[in-house]
């Protein structure tokens, strides 16, 4: 293997490591500030297909790492809303008007309330930053939403995310 090729591989690994450290730090900060049960990054690897690539948890049994989501629920209509900057704060999935497949998907992940903020780069919708409350309903405060939006914006501005 040539030195140039090894250097290219090493550079790629460094960029991914820096990106992962940024994401983990952001998720830990989100969970700490919001005191939520779970904070996750849902990253799109293909158009409207993605998975949870990083998470922080209040309890290990809440792990959804690797979850690919309910792709049949996340269609072009939802994607367009998030591409437009949509923020979704659901205080209680049991009373919020949701499509049944979405409600069932959230139940399967033990979610009772969630807050979803898009991570938008120059290339479009890169991922979703999500806080979950599993222990019960929760009214998300304007300060919670603004904090999540700031975290998403910080991530979107990072060269390690813009280039990925």
Note the pLDDT tens digit of each residue in 71-114: 566 666 777 888 899 999 999 999 999 888 889 989 999 999 99
3-state SS class at 115: strand
Determine the pLDDT at residue 13. 64
Q: Residue 31 has what pLDDT?
A: 95
State the Cα–Cα distance between residues 62 and 38, nearest whole angstrom: 7
pLDDT number for residue 2: 72
Beta-carbon contacts of 10 under 8 Å, excluding residues fewer than 6 positions away, are none
- pLDDT of 80: 80
Contact partners, residue 81, CB within 8 Å, separation at least 6: none
pLDDT for the residue numbered 164: 66
pLDDT at 110: 95
The reported pLDDT for the residue numbered 33 is 96
Write the Ramachandran bin of 66: left for phi over 0, alpha for psi from -120 to 50, otherwise beta: left
The pLDDT score that the predictor gives to residue 28 is 94
Rounded to 5°, the CA angle 131-135-136 comes to 90
Residue ranges of the chain with pLDDT lower than 70? 1, 10-17, 70-76, 164
pLDDT at site 75: 63
* pTM for the predicted model, two decimal places: 0.86
Domains of the chain: 3-162 (3.30.450.40)
Residue 128 three-state SS: strand
Closest CA to 134 of 24, 32, 26, 39: 39
């Amino acid at each position: 293997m040539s030195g140039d090729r090894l250097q290219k591989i090493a550079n790629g690994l460094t960029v991914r490591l820096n990106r992962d450290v940024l994401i983990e730090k952001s998720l830990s900060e989100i969970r700490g500030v919001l005191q939520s049960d779970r904070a996750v990054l849902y990253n799109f690897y293909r158009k409207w297909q993605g998975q949870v690539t990083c998470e922080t948890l209040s309890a290990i049994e809440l792990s959804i790492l690797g979850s690919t989501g309910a792709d049949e629920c996340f269609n072009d209509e939802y994607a367009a809303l998030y591409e437009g900057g949509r923020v979704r704060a659901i205080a209680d999935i049991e009373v919020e008007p949701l499509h049944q497949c979405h409600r069932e998907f959230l139940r399967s992940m033990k979610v009772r309330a969630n807050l979803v903020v898009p991570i938008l780069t120059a290339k479009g919708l890169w991922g979703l930053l999500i806080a979950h409350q599993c222990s019960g309903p929760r009214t998300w405060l304007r300060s919670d939403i603004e904090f999540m939006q700031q975290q998403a914006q910080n991530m979107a501005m990072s060269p390690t995310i813009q280039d990925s």
